[in-house]
Structure 1
Amino acid sequence: MKKTVYIRFTIILLIVGFMIAVQYNTVKDPETRDTRDVWEIRQELATETQLHSELLSEVRVLEETVGKYENMVNASPEVALNETIKQLKQEIGLDEFKGPGLSITIEPSIESMIVGEQIEEISPDLLIRLINEINRFKAEAVEVDGKRIIYSTAIRDVNGRTTVNNLAIKKAPFTIKIGTLSFEDAKKMYNQLEASPIGDDFYIDNLRLTIGQPENIITIPAFDQSVNMQFLQEVPGGE
């Protein structure tokens, strides 16, 4: 009798132990090892340090802008308002940009020209990827084939043609102009685009991405179409 009780008790303990072990392995987070070497960690640290420095610079510029605006408001509200309007028009793209930057040439790849392949237009998806890559590196102004890119710019396929601001862009070759805040930013933009894998995506489509050297002065015309103000409402005077 006692032997039977011991056997049953042992079986119950085994079952309970097994259930606890299964539950523990289920909720326990798997241990992951950091397989990066010292140089990879140093590179990541350098990237984070650079990002921190850029953020501090942006904060400093914004603080200076706020201080300047407050002084102008106290001295002359009208001048402050006109200066604000001018700055907003520049940021939106309604004013001509003239400053440092660089140009990118989109042209057929040498291999495609040698074998006589037909060169298709750049696809909207590929152009959007390039514009996103440029904006990721903090471009101040962008022009594609003479068409200024602003916040409301639409890049789409219309009847088999790639359009920017509802205007068709021509087949390669054509030029993309990029304006930057400073010449140093233009050099950074050049290096970052040279290191970017975006050129491989163009090569697949029989296109070649040629990045020009940074320039001290580059001119990008203002947006010359009407701006969509569908969701803007005028505030009555006195409110």
Structure 2
Amino acid sequence: MNKAINWKFTMVLLLIGFMIAIQYNSVKNPKIRDTRDIWAIRQELAEEKKLHSELLSEIRDLDKTISTYKSLSESSAGQALNDTVDKLNRKAGTTDITGPGITIEINPSPESVAYGIPITSISSDLLTRFVNEVNRFKGITMEIDGKRYTVMSSIRVINGYTSVNGLNVSTPPFKIKIISPTMSDSEKLYNYLLASSIHDDFYLDNLVLDINQPVNDVSIRGWPEKFENLYLQELPKGE
């Protein structure tokens, strides 16, 4: 009889201990609720759909390239390959380019000049935010203070100075050039930057953005650095 009571008592204690352990774990690691409003969720969804659209566009371009190679004869395959290499070089930013675009001048604010406030190098955070604002528009080509900015570029602080591609950005004033696919795209970017709140961020750092109207002949230099081939090897002819 005593054994049966002890066994039941033991089972009750185990059940209570198990429930206490579950409750403790729930309190210690509460489930994180999504407290974003509907507009924040819609914004994230829009960004994901935009990324999905870009990936589909890249897949279509690659399928088109493969179809081109399959349809060409052996004699013209070399020219097609050269065209592909040229396209990749343009995308990587190693070639000079001229097209419709805008020129933006980063200048000290009039107040800082009037009061003699020292102007330092533009902060890396501010420059990064500006680049992110501009990159809302696809297909653009950018040059920051004479330094070509591509997807492989980096904005860092080196020895206290903001740098692009490892090269120091000049203390303002300096220029930023942006080329868009069409004149219409340049006008849209121009109007967007005129109304952007990024002006307030620059003004807090005693800087102003002077955005010139779009023109048809903005020129940007190619990235001078050459790519090194570390892994690919050319096969001997005939193989």
**TM-score over 0.5 for the alignment?**
yes
Secondary structure in structure 1 of the residue aligned to 2:121: coil
- C-alpha contact 1:139 1:178 (8 A) present in aligned 2: no
Alignment length, in residue pairs?
A: 235
Distance 1:76 1:108, change over 3 A: same
Task: Give the percent of matched residue pairs that are identical in Structure 1 and Structure 2.
Answer: 43
Distance 1:89 1:73, change over 3 A: farther
Partners of 1:171 and 1:155 in 2: CA distance:
15
- Shift of residue 197 of structure 1? 1.4
1:90 equivalent to 2:93? Answer no
- 2:34 corresponds in structure 1 to none
What are the Cα deviations for residues 8-48 of structure 1, in whole angstroms up to 9, with x where unaligned?
Answer: xxxxxxxxxxxxxxxxxxxxxxxxxxxxxxxxxxxxxxxxx
Partners of 1:213 and 1:97 in 2: CA distance:
19
- Shift of residue 151 of structure 1? 2.5
1:221 equivalent to 2:190? Answer no
- C-alpha contact 1:73 1:80 (8 A) present in aligned 2: no
Range that drifts further, 81-90 or 228-237:
228-237
- C-alpha contact 1:102 1:190 (8 A) present in aligned 2: yes
Partners of 2:132 and 2:235 in 1: CA distance:
38
Structure 1 segment 160-179 matched on structure 2, within 5 A:
160-179=160-179
Q: Which runs of 4+ in 1 moved over 6 A?
A: 53-67
- C-alpha contact 1:92 1:150 (8 A) present in aligned 2: yes
TM-score (norm: length of structure 2)? 0.69
Range that drifts further, 134-143 or 65-74:
65-74
- Shift of residue 192 of structure 1? 1.7
Range that drifts further, 148-157 or 78-87:
148-157
TM-score (norm: length of structure 1)? 0.69
Range that drifts further, 173-182 or 163-172:
163-172
- Shift of residue 140 of structure 1? 2.6
Distance 1:150 1:76, change over 3 A: same
Secondary structure in structure 2 of the residue aligned to 1:90: helix
User: Which runs of 5 or more residues in structure 2 are unaligned?
Assistant: 1-49
- Shift of residue 230 of structure 1? 7.8
Structure 1 segment 72-221 matched on structure 2, within 5 A:
72=72, 76-221=76-221
- 1:19 corresponds in structure 2 to none
Partners of 1:119 and 1:144 in 2: CA distance:
18
- Shift of residue 105 of structure 1? 0.7
Distance 1:80 1:116, change over 3 A: same
User: Which runs of 5 or more residues in structure 1 are unaligned?
Assistant: 1-49
Instruction: Report the AA paired with residue 89 of structure 1.
Output: N
Range that drifts further, 159-168 or 88-97:
159-168
Partners of 1:190 and 1:120 in 2: CA distance:
27
- C-alpha contact 1:105 1:176 (8 A) present in aligned 2: yes
- Shift of residue 72 of structure 1? 4.9
Instruction: Report the AA paired with residue 226 of structure 1.
Output: E
Instruction: Report the AA paired with residue 207 of structure 2.
Output: L
- C-alpha contact 1:107 1:172 (8 A) present in aligned 2: yes
Partners of 1:181 and 1:136 in 2: CA distance:
14
Secondary structure in structure 2 of the residue aligned to 1:136: coil
Partners of 2:117 and 2:161 in 1: CA distance:
19
RMSD: 4.3
Secondary structure in structure 2 of the residue aligned to 1:111: helix
Secondary structure in structure 2 of the residue aligned to 1:151: coil
What are the Cα deviations for residues 84-130 of structure 1, in whole angstroms up to 9, with x where unaligned?
Answer: 01111011101111111111110001121122211121011111111
- C-alpha contact 2:144 2:175 (8 A) present in aligned 1: yes
Instruction: Report the AA paired with residue 116 of structure 1.
Output: G
